[in-house]
Amino acid sequence: MTTVEVACFSLPRGGKPRRKRGQTVLSGLASTDAFTNHPTLTVAKRMLILFLVVVLVDEHGSLASLHERLKEAGDAHPQHWAASRDITALQSRTSKWLGKYAVRLPKWELIVECLRLQVPREHLPQILAVAAGLHCRARQLPDPPEGYTGEVQVPEWALHTRATPEIISAHLQALLAPPAVEAPAVTSLPQRPELPELSGGFTGELDVPALIRERDQLKQMLAIMARGVNELTATAEKAQARVDELQRSFDLQKPQFVQNMELVRATRILQRKYSRLEAICVAQVQLARPNATRKTILKYLDDQVANVGTPRTGAYWEFTRDPDVDGNEVPSDASSVS
């Protein structure tokens, strides 16, 4: 599907044509989902910023003419906020609220100033009405901005969760189209041959080129909407596939998890029993050999456990000497005691 070109709604500049350089401000803004600062910009805020970008760019898709006009305003008025700022500084300033990397909304006064610099005077009331509606939604204001007395309009595309420059441009072209001129009323009409009756009983002349243009615009809008629906459907299918995969993994691991927890519980019980049994054995051995150290007794017990089930060598394990005195360990050939 080919996308329609975004129309230019800004005032043309006279003099030498500006040379187009680099990427346009809309090259990275395919939709309101393309903004990088999603955590700080709600959908309504992104709608307003994308609308301002579409309206303020020049015929090259750039904001260069806006920066030039802001610099001229700053040079003419020393108290203006753009005074003593060059083009580079103005680009850095406007990038905070215009473009893909915007981080905040501009103030209403700044929106009005930029629109007055860029939009032709005959189109300014309609553009300001839409900007005011989007500004109220983005700021969650119940009333129009202070000092603004014009109309407030919220376009239909702003009520969705996603918008594209093509949708906004198509809406603006329809909004700014000149109204159809009505024919003056006459008392009598010249006689003419009757037109053949059309389907539905309607007779009259049809503006075929206008109908074709309207049909093409509707087809473009339908294609854009279909692409958005397909993208959302694909995303939902991927998410559902991931959920199903996690559910299967959970179903397989749940019995293993329960079994593992039972083994952990049984191990802890055995460890407690072993600790109590070890303490009893150490106490019994110390009764017979009070001079033996705990280390020696534990070594003796380990040997007894290791020799369980093996034939006796005939000699009983004895404490022949105190290992704490001469430093010798328990004899390696010691056998168990009864």
Task: Indicate whether 111 belongs to any domain.
Answer: yes
Task: Please report the pLDDT score of residue 154 as a whole number.
Answer: 92
Task: Indicate whether 132 belongs to any domain.
Answer: yes
Task: Indicate whether 64 belongs to any domain.
Answer: yes
Task: Indicate whether 235 belongs to any domain.
Answer: no
Q: Reduce the DSSP state of residue 139 to 3 states and report it.
A: helix
Contacts 24+ apart (CB under 8 A), 67-70: 67/91, 67/94, 68/13, 69/117, 69/118, 70/94, 70/114, 70/117
Task: Indicate whether 97 belongs to any domain.
Answer: yes
Q: Which two tokens stand for residue 87?
A: 């083009």
Residue 137 reports pLDDT greater than 90? yes
Residue 51 reports pLDDT greater than 70? yes
DSSP H or E segment with residue 23:
none
* Type of residue at 175: L
Using alpha carbons, list the distances in angstroms from residue 92 to 63, 88, 102, 325.
Answer: 12, 6, 11, 84
**Between residues 300 and 155, the one the model is more confident about:** 155
Q: Which two tokens stand for residue 113?
A: 């100033």
Task: Indicate whether 38 belongs to any domain.
Answer: yes
Task: Please report the pLDDT score of residue 54 as a whole number.
Answer: 93
Task: Indicate whether 288 belongs to any domain.
Answer: no
Task: Indicate whether 295 belongs to any domain.
Answer: no
Domain that holds residue 105: 32-176
**Beta-carbon contacts of residue 162 (< 8 Å; ≥ 6 apart):** 31, 32, 33, 43, 228
Neighbouring CB atoms inside 10 A of 100's CB total 18
φ, ψ for residue 47, nearest 5 deg? -60, -45
Q: What is the pLDDT of residues 170-209, one digit of tens each?
A: 999 988 887 655 555 545 555 554 545 444 444 456 778 8
Number of domains comprising the chain: 1
